[in-house]
Amino acid sequence: MHAAQLLLASLPAALATSGAFDVLSFNVAGLPSILNGNDVLGDKTTNSEEIGTLFAEYNYDVLHVQEDFNYHAYIYQTDDHPYRTATSGGAGIGSGLNTLANYPWVDFERVKWATCSDASGADCLTPKGFTAMRVRFAEGVYADFYNLHADAGSETAARSARSANLQQLADYIGNNSAGNAEEMTNPWVELILDGQEPVEDNVARMCDNPTTNRSCETVDTIFYRGSRAIDLQATYRSCVGTKFLSSNGTVLSDHNPITSNFTWTVSSSLMQSDLFGGPHGTWFNDLPSIPSSSTGTNKPASLQLRGDARLDSVSLTLSSGQNYTHGGTGGSLFELSLSDGEYLTKATLCEGEYNDHTRIFYLNATTSEGNTLSAGTATEDCQEFAAEDGWQIVGFYGQDGDEVDQLGFVYGRRG
């Protein structure tokens, strides 16, 4: 199974309120020809160069590739996307998973499957698994992308390994894409099959290669979901193998590349800021538990910060007593109580290096009444965050451990 999965992580208090992007997922058949010829005509080096040329021509916003092993350099040689992951190695060394994009990302990680099976081929030969990245489309507009290559085959051992792969991915998503807990949607089912999920063990409607048939079934899949901060919608899904043919008109891979188009719209009640700091620690996000209205007992009532040399923790308490706390217990405690008509509206964050990790060193928060609260030590690398008119800071998201490594703000409407 090969799939590109995407999750929209967060939206900002920014000028952009909507946008669109497209995604391509393509198994590029990059195993050495001596191991697997893939029944594809032509020289693999030449085919890989043509794939890169077509990537540049069609200019998809985000391209996930699988089996990008020994011919990786030839694809990159003819492609011109400005952001591209570095190879993790050829077959037997790397995962074969890479991403090319028109947008930058943060927190890229490669994760190896904990379980594999050789029941169908040599799935344990190379460290297959998944990659995770948070793509930044605009100020504060992020999407979490997962690119995976699961255990193949229909044998009992292969199916068991694949189930374990998907559970490992689900656990990772639950921990690292915090704040986006809605169900996944398959654009093929949603847009082409009118929402009717295929029944397990029914005869698959297998696709020819290439094909223009949009209702046939492939092993390559794209899933997506939105969050409370954004409405994410798939608007198109199709196999596009006919766009990826050699100069002789033959297929370049034994897999049909698939594509989906997406639109996003900012929520009218909750938004998020850009992230600031370093990609370390455990992800957290207050978004799922923030009340839909930040008025009455749901209004932020006090802010607590801990820090000395660096920012150790942030904590926000609502009038109801509900509390959001992130970070450790070190440092000195500083607290600011808010009056009934007072709101948290601005914050300045400063970052620095400690133990070879970028962390948040300083936070200064300002209210609508001009009151301030700060903790930690200011550095020369700082950034200001401000809620737009009619909005306030109602929570946090980012990464933490004993201290705060990365931080962003959740904005809600004022009462």
Residue 178 token pair: 């915090």
pLDDT at res. 3: 46
Q: What's CA 228's distance to the chain center, in Å?
A: 16
Q: Which of 218, 249, 157 is nearest to 27 (CA)?
A: 218
Q: What are the tens digits of pLDDT across the range 58-116? A: 999 999 999 999 999 999 999 999 999 999 999 999 999 999 999 999 889 999 999 99
pLDDT beneath 70: ranges in the chain: 1-15, 35-38, 180-182
pLDDT in tens, 148-186: 999 988 899 999 999 999 999 999 998 888 775 567 899
Neighbours of 237 (CB within 10 A): 21
pTM summary value? 0.91
**Residue 176 phi/psi, 5° resolution?**
-110, -20
Contacts for 3 with CB less than 8 Å, ≥ 6 apart: 25, 147, 148, 150, 220, 221, 222, 223
Give the model's pLDDT for residue 303: 98
**Cβ pair 52, 174 in contact under 8 A:** no
Q: How far is CA 216 from CA 13, 27, 67, 262, in A?
A: 41, 17, 23, 21
Cβ count near 74 (within 10 Å): 19
Domains of the chain: 18-266 (3.60.10.10), 270-413 (2.100.10.30)
Burial class (CB in 10 A: 0-12, 13-18, 19+), 213: middle
Tokens 């948070």 locate to 134
